[in-house]
Amino acid sequence: MKSIKCKKILISAACLLFLLNMTFANQEENETDIPSIVKKQKSGRFEIGFHSSLWTLDIIKSYFETAIGNEIGGDITNEIYKDITETHADLNRLKRADGSIIYEEDLLFDSGGFNYGLELRYYPKGRDGSFSLGLSFDKARMRLSIEGPVIQKFSNGTYASADSFTEIILNPLFTNLSFRWDMVPHWRVTPFIILGIGIAAMSGEFNYNYSGLYKWGGSDENISDSQLKTIKEAEEDWSVNVPNIFPLMQVNIGVRARIIPNLYIKAETGFWNGFILRAGVSGRF
């Protein structure tokens, strides 16, 4: 009986030691794993980068040549008419049946520019997360121009012909909020999609000039004019309403590649108030 009792005690003690051992082992494992998991989740949550882009609207230039060309052509012929009637007050411009002025123009649109910026991104799920929220500050230079000949004919058979050039240069500083999805974040090279919105205070300048001849029965007369104004001055002088806030819409696709741990390069293209080609470099921490 005593031996049986001893065996039971020994078995009970062994079970207790096993349970205690397992408990301490699990506790030690948990104490080791929890910080490492937390560390893994928290690491790589932030990314800071620099980027630079080329910008243009020339892909849809045919629309601007039609829409803006008609508007600018009319404005320039108005200025030419004012210039000529200072010495020929009896001139009348040819008109259509609806009363609109008849003139000819062959104006060509051009655009170009660049932007560069600093960006901070936040990945809520750390290195394993595909979604990130970005805040960037971009300095941009956007140039729009339209140039070519304009002809204004008058009812007495005379006419004025001039070569014209109109240019708008914008220098906004954008604050941009963007949402990015890295398709396969653990790949060394992964595609991504960006959607973003932003705003900037309107700033820049407007200039135009024309030069040509007024042909009539006497000697040909030179006609010319040139003006350079800030956007604000143009708004005040010509009584036009120019928005003070310049909005931004962004829809880009791109590719990100890991060069070394925590260092990445990227290339992207898409719509950024026009069409851009962008390259950049960033680091994770």
- Tens digits of residue pLDDT in 218-244: 889 999 999 898 888 877 766 667 778
Mean confidence (pLDDT) of the chain: 85
Report whether pLDDT(30) > 50: no
**Tell me, what amino acid is at 218?**
G
Quick one: average pLDDT of 139-168?
A: 94
The count of other CB atoms within 10 Å of the CB of residue 30 is 11
Quick one: average pLDDT of 271-277?
A: 96
Closest CA to 272 of 142, 181, 118: 142
- Tens digits of residue pLDDT in 192-215: 999 999 999 888 998 989 999 999
Report whether pLDDT(126) > 60: yes
**Tell me, what amino acid is at 134?**
G
Question: Would you kindly state where each structural domain of the chain is located, as residue ranges?
Answer: 1-42, 46-284
Closest CA to 210 of 89, 78, 43, 100: 78
Q: Which residue's entry shows tokens 């914008």?
A: 170
Report whether pLDDT(12) > 70: no
Report whether pLDDT(169) > 50: yes
Q: How far is CA 15 from CA 1, 18, 21, 24, in A?
A: 21, 5, 10, 14
Asked which of 52-56, 147-151, 202-206, 280-284 is least confident by mean pLDDT, the reply is: 202-206
Question: How far is Cα 24 from Cα 20, in angstroms, rounded to an integer?
Answer: 6
Q: Answer for the pair 91, 110: CB distance below 8 angstroms, yes or no.
A: no
- Nearest-Å Rg of the Cα atoms of the chain is 35
Strand segments, DSSP code E, in the chain are 46-56, 103-105, 108-122, 131-153, 159-170, 173-182, 189-201, 204-215, 221-230, 245-260, 263-272, 275-284
Q: What is the DSSP string of 87-143?
A: T-TT--B-B-TTSPBPEEE--EEEEEEEEEEEEEEE-TTGGG--EEEEEEEEEEEEE
